[in-house]
Amino acid sequence: MGNGNRPTPEFRREAVRLALTSGRARRESADDLGIGLSTLTRWLTQEQDAGERPQSPSPAG
């Protein structure tokens, strides 16, 4: 990366998948992918947030 080009959505999805399944530390995964740790962490957070779309509230009880 680092050449001014934005990563493709496919690259982001693959980076997130690798970070979650590789068993390696996030920093190692980020280094292998050529992205910053903060970028990978942000992508992981965004992916987690996207998977937690709220549904209609359930009644307390």
Whether the model clears a pTM of 0.85, i.e. scores above it, the answer is no
What would the pLDDT profile of 4-57 be if each residue is shown by its tens digit?
Answer: 688 999 999 999 999 999 999 999 999 999 999 999 999 999 998 988 766 656
Phi/psi of residue 16, each to 5°?
-65, -45
